Amino acid sequence: MNMKHIHFDILNSTNEQAKLMLNEYDKFIVTADMQMGGKGRKNRSWVGEKGKNLYCSIGLKHKYTERTLEPHSYQFAGALLAYKAITRVLPAGEVRLKFPNDIMVRSKKGDFRKICGILTEHIFYGNMLQSTIIGIGINVEQSEFPDEVKDIAISLKQLGYEVTSNDIFNFLFDIVSEFRFESDEKIFDAWHDLVQIEGKEVTLLSDNKKYLVKNVFDDGRLEIESLSDTSIKIIDDGDSIRYEYD
């Protein structure tokens, strides 16, 4: 299917614009040089300088005659798409997919910092998945970040890569055009291979205790076992745990 690209100078949020454009197009990417109300996960905001970063949303209107993927598969797909675009520039050894879908890269100091965030939203009609919006923000040419995030965020420019947000968009556009949103299993397997969290030790921030990741369920939730008392917990949120990516 031909994919449309629609670009705006300024928008509130490309995810919000994508919701409007789903009335017109079935598969498209909307980009903006700047977002005035960029949205992050958990009602956080996503801010960045004008024209320096990639702010984009993929809109997918599902055909009601065809089976859709499970909603969580689109979230995994978003991580795979962004990972593929970033590794067109950076060597894969420098890039990590942090559970469930933040993309981290090794800074010059050696720690891993966030270069990309993904916000996936769905529109349901009753219990039928009608459309999906995969919002992707990639830090490209920004050379400084606000104090609150300057030690945890990073851009390609800060790593010494001279690419523009338009270059990254062109990579992403090709990757999305070729991506097959068809098999939950294949998408899960590819995501699972990249996230590599099974068997890792994680710290649960709510009790500051250590756990082992025993299992990753098909919907992306983690089964973790306490290293102190073998109790089991289920985790569906990357912000509730801390772990080493290496």
| CA 27-173-115 angle, 5° bins | 115
Tokens of 136: 């992707």
Residue closest to 139 by CA, chosen among 121, 163, 119, 120: 163
Q: Is 40 in the site for ligand BTN (CB under 6 A)?
A: yes
Answer for which of 22, 28, 46, 156 binds ligand BTN (CB under 6 A) is 46
Q: In this chain, which of 28, 55, 76, 83 binds ligand BTN, going by CB under 6 A?
A: 55
> Within its chain, how far is the Cα of 175 from the centroid?
14
Told to check if 14 binds ligand BTN by CB under 6 A, we report yes
Q: Binding ligand BTN by CB under 6 A: which of 78, 100, 135, 238? A: 135
Sign, Cα dihedral of 180, 186, 155, 118: positive
50 binds ligand BTN (CB under 6 A): no
CB of 157 or CB of 210, closer to ligand BTN: 157
Residues numbered 204 to 223 that lie near ligand BTN (CB under 6 A) are none
| Strands of 4-11's sheet in order across | 4-11, 27-35, 54-61, 128-138, 112-125, 102-106, 95-98
The least CB distance from residue 127 to ligand BTN, in Å, is 25
Using the minimum distance from each CB to ligand BTN, give the nearer residue, 38 or 158: 38
Q: Report if residue 181 touches ligand BTN, rule: CB under 6 A.
A: no
Q: Which of 28, 39, 68, 95 binds ligand BTN (CB under 6 A)?
A: 39
Position 118 contacts ligand BTN (CB under 6 A): yes
Query: From the list 77, 82, 119, 213, which residue makes contact with ligand BTN (rule: CB under 6 A)?
Result: 119
* Count of residues touching ligand BTN (by CB under 6 A): 20
CA 16 remoteness from chain centre: 17
Indicate whether 38 belongs to the interface with ligand BTN (CB under 6 A).
yes
Query: If binding is defined by CB under 6 A, does position 13 make contact with ligand BTN?
Result: yes
Report d(CA 36, CA 13) in Å as an integer.
7
**Cα–Cα distance between 181 and 23 in angstroms, integer?**
20
Q: Least separation, in Å, of the C-beta of 245 and ligand BTN? A: 16
- Helix (H) or strand (E) holding 19, with range, is helix 14-21
Residue 46 or residue 74: which is nearer to ligand BTN going by CB? Answer: 46
When binding is defined by CB under 6 A, the residue of 5, 7, 27, 41 that contacts ligand BTN is 41
What is the C-alpha separation between 234 and 237, in angstroms, rounded? 9
